[in-house]
Structure formats: structure tokens, C-alpha cells
Amino acid sequence: MLIDTHCHLEEEYYDNLEEVIERMPGIMITAGCDSRTNKEVLERIKKDSIYGVIGIHPEFVESYQESDLKWIEDHINDSKIVGIGEVGLDYHYDETTKEKQKELFEKQIILAQKYNKTVVVHSRDAIMDTYDIMMKYPDVKYVLHCYGSSIEMAERFLSLHIRFGIGGVVTFKNGTRLKEVVKKLPLAYLLLETDSPYLSPEPFRGMKNEPSNTDIVALKIAEIKGLSKEEVIHTTALNAIDQFDLPISL
């Protein structure tokens, strides 16, 4: 079964969201980023094939309210909410909010720890600080979504209960570093994702991404690892079920 472990199924991105959802033959985990999209996650998970994670993305570090965190805690045990995300650190556009981002990230890790939920981590140009904070909470379950750092860095995370979300970037010509990560990490550590509507795989690069494209990602991983696509789809589905405690049997 195909499982897209990370996408953003929001009305504003698609004219035909219903069709996009229907085209995906498997399961999707949609991620919130702020109070508005977190509420949308609750709407989306009414659909059988959709689960959700809720959290405050570092992009919203200046605008979120304490009440948004309270809301997350109030809904963390809702049926089909399977983690906190996406949360983390992003120093790409703005380094001035580093300390505030770290504080928000830690607060949400502590929340995940309290309820034994997976933390879905976004880390951009911030991998060392991400690592240092995660290592402070080694008993928490993590996913590094859209992993983009080196294999050496990936290996440093392996003492944690962690998996790495692999998406469309693995199909890009300049995706050499990620291809090395996929080649060297055991399949047991990998999850399929799209990050829809972003990061469409080749040959759709630049176009709007959608969950059914996890199939293309699976094929690329299979090529790199010398496995069949079916094996990649099956094992990564088992990985996702374990990681997020999904009530699904294959």
C-alpha cells in the first residue's frame, strides 16, 4: 500500500482537491503549519484514507499564539491525529528568529513526549541545531521530513527512534546527496512522501505535486537500491505504520 507520509491537502492549493485525493490509491498524512491549516487537517481526516499531524511551523514563529499550542494539545489525542508537525527550524530566510524558533520547537517536542506522538521535523539550513535539540529528547519518536542533509549527518541520528521522509528531490538531476542517503540507509529507515503541493518529482518538476506521485518516488528508491518497486512500497508502508501507530494491517 502506498503511504504518502507528508503532504499539505489544503483547499487553497487545489481547484480539485477531491479529485487529487481520489487519485491516490493509498493513505495520506496531511500536515498543518499554523492555526488555520491545523483546523483544516481536522476537516480532511474525516476521509477514511487521510490521517493528520498538527503543529506550528517555524515560519509562523512570530505570529502564533500560546492558545494555538493549547489547541494542539486539546486535539493531539483526536482519532487519526498521529503526530505533531510540521515543526522545526528554518534559517533559510530569517536568522534573526533563531532563539524563538528553538524555543517553539522544544515546546512542541515536549508535547509530543507527553503524549507519545511522533514529531514530524522540518529542518532547513539548520541541521546542527535541529540535531542538538532532538538529542536532548532521545526518547521521542521523530521523522525528518524531506531530509536534505548528508549521509554522515543522517547516521548521527540513528540512535534515535527516527525515520527519513524521502520525496521528489530524489528524482532531481542535482539530487546526488539525497541519492547517496537513500543508497546507504537501510530501507527500514525510509518513508515515502510528496510534500504536495511542493517538490514534484521528475518529470513533473515545477508543476503542482499530489500524493499519487509517491509512486514515482518509490520507483526511484527501488532503482537506487536495486530492489523492486513493490518491495519499496510494502516496506515503507510497514515503516509508516510502525512510526505513526497507524491502525492498518497490510
Phi and psi, residue 129, nearest 5°: -65, -35
Answer for the pair 177, 148: CB distance below 8 angstroms, yes or no. yes
Q: For residues 195 and 215, which CB has a smaller minimum distance to Ni ion in the complex?
A: 195
Q: For residues 4 and 195, which CB has a smaller minimum distance to Ni ion in the complex?
A: 195
| Whole-angstrom distance, CA of residue 220 vs CA of residue 212 | 14
Q: For residues 5 and 186, which CB has a smaller minimum distance to Ni ion in the complex?
A: 5
Q: For residues 4 and 215, which CB has a smaller minimum distance to Ni ion in the complex?
A: 4
Task: Count residues near Ni ion (CB under 5 A).
Answer: 1
Evaluated on CA atoms 1, 185, 83, 90, the torsion sign reads: negative
Stretch that binds Ni ion, among 74-82, 153-161, 180-188, 190-198 (CB under 5 A): 190-198
Name the 3-class secondary structure at 4. strand
**Side chain identity at residue 106, one-letter code:** E
195 near Ni ion, judged by CB under 5 A: yes
- Helices and strands (H and E) in the chain: how many: 9, 8
What is the smallest separation between the CB atom of 59 and Ni ion, expressed in angstroms? 10
Q: For residues 90 and 195, which CB has a smaller minimum distance to Ni ion in the complex?
A: 195
What is the smallest separation between the CB atom of 146 and Ni ion, expressed in angstroms? 7
Residue list 4-63, contact with Ni ion (CB under 5 A): none
Cα angle 16, 19, 21; round to 5 = 110
Q: Select the residue whose beta carbon is closest to Ni ion and give its number.
A: 195
Stretch that binds Ni ion, among 147-155, 159-167, 187-195, 222-230 (CB under 5 A): 187-195
Stretch that binds Ni ion, among 112-120, 178-186, 192-200, 229-237 (CB under 5 A): 192-200
| Whole-angstrom distance, CA of residue 146 vs CA of residue 195 | 8
Residue list 75-114, contact with Ni ion (CB under 5 A): none
Q: For residues 59 and 215, which CB has a smaller minimum distance to Ni ion in the complex?
A: 59
Nearest to 162 by CA among 152, 173, 147: 147
What is the smallest separation between the CB atom of 31 and Ni ion, expressed in angstroms? 5
User: Cβ–Cβ contacts within 10 Å for residue 230, how many?
Assistant: 10
HSE-up of residue 85 (Cα within 13 Å, Cβ side): 30
| Whole-angstrom distance, CA of residue 10 vs CA of residue 37 | 7
Residue list 201-230, contact with Ni ion (CB under 5 A): none
Stretch that binds Ni ion, among 17-25, 42-50, 88-96, 195-203 (CB under 5 A): 195-203
Kindly list the residues in this chain that would bind Ni ion in the complex (CB under 5 A): 195
